[in-house]
Amino acid sequence: MTNQFYTFSRALCRIPGDSVAQGLRATGAQDPDPALFRSEHTAYVEALIDAGVSVEVLPPLEAFPDSVFIEDAALCLPEGAVVLAPGAPTRAGEADAIRAPLENHYRTVATIQQGTIDGGDILVTDREILVGLSERTTAEGVASLRAIVESWSYTVTMVDTPLGVLHFKTDCGLLDGETILATHRLAECEAFKKYHVLLVPRGEEAAANAVRVNDVVFLSAGFPKTTDLLTAAGFKVVALPTSQAALVDGGLSCLSLRFSPNT
């Protein structure tokens, strides 16, 4: 099982629609430019391909402005996929839309039965599945996920996400089997004491949502101190533009579902 949670052969991405300009956001940020968002999304898909991943790009869902953030709708593990239950009411239909694409890759596709849970609150490591409680993810949702994945021999650890953090992975990213990149505020979590934590330099907190994909680490462009930190630690960094995703509270991890199914 070692390294399987950052080693991927396939990914699902969804093109941002024109409606992304109406996407959810915690602050009064300006609307993203759909054309520029699509350009940045194309660069992201190309980076996945360059990293050795076969990418299926799904068409836009104009009825769901935030559907480009495809990771929130499902969790993909080697043994099977889980259709999640996004916590924002306007995103509920995204879960139904991801089922058919998942069934093209998996024999087993389970469904969250109670509560709500966003993929952005789930960090899978070689040891466990860490799930952060948030405004979008409830204890009931975590319990429903636990009931599914325990049959696949996974341990689920529930974490209290600090106030002001939209999603657990807004402030952290898996770098390897032992190492997590995290902000200072999230690194204080009890669950992180069993890992080696690299602290994001202060002032570059938005860089924490990094994604390890095979031999490289995707990092949002514009964070030189974090780039230097990761490079010095021996990681190969690929900087990608995320200016438009950031306007609607999105980051690198939520732009794809990355997986290597056993079935």
* Model pLDDT for residues 205-232, shown as the tens digit of each residue: 999 999 999 999 999 999 999 999 999 9
Evaluate whether residue 150 is within a structural domain. Answer: yes
Task: Confirm whether 183 is domain-assigned.
Answer: no
Q: What is the pLDDT of residues 127-142, one digit of tens each?
A: 999 999 999 999 999 9
**Is 2 domain-assigned?**
no
- Under 8 Å CB-to-CB from 188, ≥6 apart: which residues? none
The model carries a pTM of 0.96
pLDDT of res. 67: 98
| In a domain? residue 24 | yes
CB 75 within 8 A of CB 119: yes
37 within a domain of the structure (yes/no): yes
Strand partners, 11: 55, 258
> Which distant-in-sequence residues (6+ apart) come within 8 Å of 180 by Cβ?
123, 125, 172, 173, 174, 192, 195, 196, 197, 198
Amino acid at 152: W
**What sign does the dihedral 34-37-41-42 (CA atoms) show?**
positive
pLDDT at residue 36 greater than cutoff 80 = yes
Confidence at 102, pLDDT banded by 50, 70, 90: very high
Per the domain annotation, does 127 fall within a domain?
Answer: yes
Active site residues: 167, 254
pLDDT in tens, 6-33: 999 999 999 999 999 999 998 767 999 9
Q: Provide the H-helix boundaries in 135-202.
A: 139-149, 184-187
**How many folded domains does the chain comprise?**
1
Task: Write out the residue range of the structural domain in which residue 33 sits.
Answer: 10-170+245-259
The percentage of residues in the chain with a pLDDT greater than 70, rounded to a whole number, is 98
Q: H or E element: which one contains 35?
A: helix 34-50
Residue 20 lies in a domain: yes
CB atoms within 10 A of CB 186: 26
In 179-230, beta strands by DSSP E? 179-182, 196-199, 211-213, 216-220
Beta-carbon contacts of residue 159 (< 8 Å; ≥ 6 apart): 130, 131, 132, 133, 168, 189, 190, 191
Residue 209 lies in a domain: no
Query: pLDDT grade, residue 79 (50/70/90)?
Result: very high
Amino acid, single-letter form, for residue 222: G
Those residues whose C-beta lies under 8 Å from the C-beta of residue 101, and which sit 6 or more positions away, are: 12, 56, 58
* CATH code of the domain covering residue 138: 3.75.10.10
